[in-house]
Structure formats: structure tokens, C-alpha cells
Amino acid sequence: MMDRMRHTLTDALTNLGRAGWSGLASVGTIAVAFLIVGIFLLLTQNLSAALGQWRDQYQVTVFLDDRIAADQLALLKKRIANERAVRAVAYISKAEALQAFKRELKGRESLLEGLGENPIPASFQLRIQEENQTPAALRQLAAFLSRLEGVEEVQYGQEWIDRMAAVLNVMRLIGLSVGLALGVASLLIVSNTVRLAIYARAEEIEIMRLVGATKTTVRLPFLLEGLIQGGAGAGLALGLLFAAYRITLYKLQMAPGQASGLGLGSFLPASAVMTMLAVGAALGAIGSLLSVSRLLRA
Amino acid sequence: MIQMYHVYKTFGRDVEALVDVSLHIEKGEFAFLAGPSGAGKTTLLRLIYRDEVPTSGQIVVNGRNVLKLPGRHLPHLRRTIGVIFQDFKLLRDRAVFENLALVARVLGMRTVAGKRKVAQVLRLVGLSHRANTIPYKLSGGEQQRVAIARALMNDPLILLADEPTGNLDAELAADIFRLLREINAKGTTVLVATHDMDLAGEHGRHVLTLKQGRIVEDYRDGR
């Protein structure tokens, strides 16, 4: 059994060697397909990680009317805190807000000189429950809050997050459809390569059949050949992608996984890498099977 | 060992390759299928290892009805038959050893057993020293013997030889026949197809003469 498997594997590798350029063409096509899919995956993954981080940072800010009374303030805080979507509420007084603003203006505090009264309103900073961090839920919450007594204005990174989410969805869609199209293309190319390989070895196959080879004995090497081509293509793509990723990080002077606290700069997770390799191998095997069963029916 | 009953083979609509062929070849026989080229000899041989199926009629090989054999059992039939092809069918890009080892692999032999078998059949045909030579660097007679060696890899019950001396001079042809007789002496049923009627008459105890797809004479020595 081991003997036979080793033979089959040796056969497949020898045949790959004989296939030469046409074999490389299939590996190359699969690599291109997976490279493009990989780029989209990597970009969407990083962008959605960034979006998550931004969402966490960009909390909903409820600016308060300057004339709000202390008891009214306490009541309002309670009301907001009781809201299901709200995870935590922090009060920032006018003075604190001014301090923070000054810190941000560091070195240019003179800009604030001449302002008689503190112009910055007090506010509540809200942290939002994970499941409510969708554009729709945030919009709804903001609408509700802005109708409350003593609320001047409600702000959140609404449009920004909406736009980001929309871009992300479009990217996912493009990635998916391009990947699908290229997947089909590589299927056809592998099946074509294997067909050429079968033609090139027609004599050998005929002899094998005439001396009593079973279908499996004849087909297995071709199947394995496709499997290896597919896996190698996906592997090559992942290698290139990883290299490009490291170079990009280096150019941006970021360390892996840690990039200005935005969750940017991580490579595809191991599960995605394994899936891509498996899908590549499966594409190769299926492409090969298509040709083999069509040409070796007898 | 080989029986045919009213076998017809028609190619396309009206090319009659074989017409009402019936024959019996006994176990251990050394039989000849003689006839001019185009008489249907190769077609008849191909029916035996079911590379072709007859248009009508029945064929029994080694006690089994070839036509009723399910496809998955076809390899088993072929493993009991050794075929020496008219055009040898040797792989040109591989040495003699690999040509034979391919059969060992198809038969599912282990590497060591396969090597031993290759060495054995090469010794039998006297080509041990040519194991690593590419077939086209061999002479016609040597290629013929490699083809015979390959047909013997599976210790066949039946050996079918299609024009095994077709393009060899008389001396080499005699060598080949000596070899085939040796194989036959060990119990293998041998059927040789040839266009050379003299050759068939000289060596054959059982000669079937085929003309335009019909058996016109079935001569058996001593009967």
C-alpha cells in the first residue's frame, strides 16, 4: 500500500516535470487567481478590523444644553444609561472639555485667548454595546437621544462609518466575484493542462490499460497532479501575498499586528490560509478529474 | 482456452472484418493464425483481450465469457493474457527496464518483487545487458524481444503474438520462435498471427487460415 502510494506520488511528480511549461501555466493561473482573492481578503480584513477599532473609539457624544440644571442632568444620565444599546456613560463637564481641547491645541493655546466664556459644551460620552454598532442602530439611537430634554446635539462618526461599511461591502462583493470568475478560469486551465498531459501520455495509458491496469491506477496520478498544481498555485499566491504584506509593513514602519492601535497590519489568519490551500488543491483535483473522466471513459 | 462461436465484427456500416468465425484453441497449444495482411488477424486477437467487442457472437477465454465480463473485471482478464503487439508499443522516452517496470506497477507488484521479475524476463529473452538502453537504440530483433519480455511480466496463461517476426531476417525469426516455443513448453498457450504461410506451416501444429475475415482452413496436426 505504502509502496503503491509512493509510486503514484513519484509518477505524479515525474509527470509534472514532463509537463514543464504547461504545468507551470496552470500553477501560475491558480496563483494569480488566489493572489487577487488574497489581496481582497487581506484588505477587507484589515479595513473591517480598523472599522471595529474606530467604532470603539468613536463613541456617541451627547452635547448638553448649557442651561441644564443639575437634577435634570442626573435624570438625563440615568435615562441614557438605562438605554439598552448603551454600555457605559461618562460625563465630561465644560471645564474638562476645555482642558482636553487645550491639550489638543498644544502650543497654540493663544488661539483660545480672548474667549471670555468657555464656549465648549458639557457632554456625555457613550460607549455602545457591540451588537448595536451598526450604522442603522446608531442612527436610531442618535435620533432618540436628540429628542431628549436638555440635549443640544448628538454626534457620532455616522456618515464616516456608513461610508466605510459601504466601501467594505463593495470590496467584499468585488473580491468574491473576481475570485469566483478566476476560480472557474483556473479550473478550466487545469483541466486543459491535464488533458494535454493525457494526450502526451496516450501511449503509456494505452499500454497500461492493455496490460490490465485498473481505472484507479491510471487515473490517480493525474488526480494527484492536479491536486499538487492547485495546492502549489495557492501556496505560491500566499507566499507572494505574505512577502508583499511584509514589504508594505516595512515601508509603513509598522510592526506586524500592531499599527497605530487601529488593528491594521495583521496577515490572514491560519484558518484562511489553510482554506485557501485546500480550495486550491480542490480546484486542481476537480479540473483534473473533469479531463480524466472525459478522456479515459473506456 | 480460447473459444469463439459465430463471431462477426463489422466496422462502420459495411466493413466486414470478421465473418462467422468459430475456433477452439486448447490449453497449452501453440497455434497459428495465418493469412494475408488485412485478413482480420489483428482484429481477432483484439477480441480475445477485449480491446474490441464483436458485432455478434460469443467469445470464451479461460472459461469465462468475455462479453459478459463487467468492466471492472476487465483488468483481471487482461492480466492473464500477454500481448506482443505488432508495433511493439514500447515507450520511447524510457529505458527497457522502465518499460517493463511499468507493467510490474500496473500489476501491483512491490518494488523489489517488480525488479526481480524484470530481471527474470530480461534474462529469459537474453537482454539483461540492455536494461538501461532506450528502445530506439536497440535493433529490431532486440525490440521484439523486449516486447516479448513485457508480455511475460504477468506470467500469462495465454500469449498472443501479432507478427512477432514481421520485419526480422530468417535467422532472428528462428531465434524468436525458439523463445516462443520455450515459453509454450512451460505451459503457456501461444497464438501467433502471421502473414507468412510458410512459417506457419513449418512451425504450426494447429494453423487457422484467415482470408477476408473468414476462417478458410483449420488444420490440426495428427487429426
Mean pLDDT of all residues belonging to chain A: 79
Does B106 reach chain A within 8 Å, measured CB to CB? yes
Average pLDDT rounded to a whole number, residues A270-295: 86
Q: What is the DSSP string of A199-264?
A: HHTHHHHHHHHHTT--HHHHHHHHHHHHHHHHHHHHHHHHHHHHHHHHHHHHHTT-BTTBSTTTT-
Average pLDDT rounded to a whole number, residues B116-144: 92
Lowest-pLDDT range of A79-83, A112-116, A224-228: A112-116
Residues A40, A183 contacting (CB under 8 angstroms): no
- List pLDDT tens digits, range B167-204: 788 888 888 888 899 999 999 999 999 988 887 777 77
- pLDDT band at residue A259, thresholds of 50, 70 and 90? very low
Does B73 reach chain A within 8 Å, measured CB to CB? no
Does B103 reach chain A within 8 Å, measured CB to CB? yes
In 10 A of CB A244, how many CB atoms? 14
pLDDT for the residue numbered B24 = 94
Please state the length of chain A. Answer: 298
Q: Which residue has the higher pLDDT, A255 or A127?
A: A127
* Angle, vertex CA B10, rays to CA B4 and CA B13, nearest 5: 160
Q: Which residue has the higher pLDDT, A211 or A202?
A: A211
Cβ-nearest to B102 among A4, A208, A214: A208
Residue of B32, B55, B45, B110 lying closest to B82 (CA atoms): B45
The Cβ-side half-sphere exposure at A152, using a 13 Å CA radius, reads 13
Q: Which residue has the higher pLDDT, A179 or B16?
A: B16
Q: What is this structure's pTM?
A: 0.67
- List pLDDT tens digits, range A284-298: 888 888 888 777 765
Average pLDDT rounded to a whole number, residues A166-188: 82
Residue of A nearest to B77 (CA): A212
- Asked if the model's pLDDT at residue B152 lies above 90, the reply is yes
- pLDDT band at residue A262, thresholds of 50, 70 and 90? very low
3-state helix, strand, coil in chain A (%, to 5): 70, 10, 20
Lowest-pLDDT range of A252-256, B72-76, B122-126: A252-256
Residue of A150, A40, A132 lying closest to A86 (CA atoms): A132
Does B169 reach chain A within 8 Å, measured CB to CB? no
B59: left (phi over 0), alpha (psi -120 to 50) or beta: beta
- Asked if the model's pLDDT at residue A55 lies above 70, the reply is no
Give Cα B202 to chain centroid, integer Å.
19
**Residue B55 DSSP label:** S
- Asked if the model's pLDDT at residue B124 lies above 60, the reply is yes
Mean pLDDT of all residues belonging to chain B: 90
- Asked if the model's pLDDT at residue B149 lies above 50, the reply is yes
Tell if the CB–CB gap between A203 and B105 is shorter than 8 Å.
Answer: no
> Which parts of chain B fold into alpha helices (H)?
41-48, 74-78, 96-106, 111-124, 140-152, 170-185, 197-203
Q: Which residue has the higher pLDDT, B189 or A90?
A: B189
- Return all residues near A277 (Cβ < 8 A) that are at least 6 apart: A231, A234, A235, A238
Chain A environment of B79 (Cβ under 8 Å): 211-212
Cβ-nearest to A7 among B51, B75, B105: B105
pLDDT for the residue numbered A260 = 44
pLDDT for the residue numbered B59 = 96
**Residue A117 DSSP label:** S
- pLDDT band at residue B122, thresholds of 50, 70 and 90? very high
- Asked if the model's pLDDT at residue A165 lies above 60, the reply is yes
Q: What is the DSSP string of B30-43?
A: EEEEE--TTSSHHH
- Asked if the model's pLDDT at residue A283 lies above 70, the reply is yes
Residue of B175, B120, B170, B116 lying closest to B142 (CA atoms): B175
A227: left (phi over 0), alpha (psi -120 to 50) or beta: alpha
CB burial string B177-215: b at 16+ within 10 A, e below: bebbeebbeeebbbbbbbebeebbeebbebbbbbeebeb
- List pLDDT tens digits, range B22-71: 999 999 999 999 999 889 999 999 999 999 999 999 999 999 999 999 98
- Return all residues near B137 (Cβ < 8 A) that are at least 6 apart: none
pLDDT for the residue numbered A54 = 66
pLDDT for the residue numbered A53 = 67
- Asked if the model's pLDDT at residue A21 lies above 80, the reply is no
Average pLDDT rounded to a whole number, residues B14-19: 90
Tell if the CB–CB gap between B75 and A214 is shorter than 8 Å.
Answer: yes
Q: What nine digits make up the cell of B178?
A: 525458439
- List pLDDT tens digits, range B92-109: 888 999 999 999 988 888
Average pLDDT rounded to a whole number, residues A40-52: 79
- Asked if the model's pLDDT at residue A256 lies above 60, the reply is no
Cβ-nearest to A3 among B77, B111, B150: B111
Cβ-nearest to A212 among B89, B91, B106: B106
Judging by beta carbons within 10 Å of its beta carbon (0-12, 13-18, 19+), is residue B160 exposed, middle or buried?
Answer: buried
Containing H/E element for A25? helix A2-57
Interatomic CA distance for residues A194 and A200, integer angstroms: 10
pLDDT for the residue numbered B20 = 94
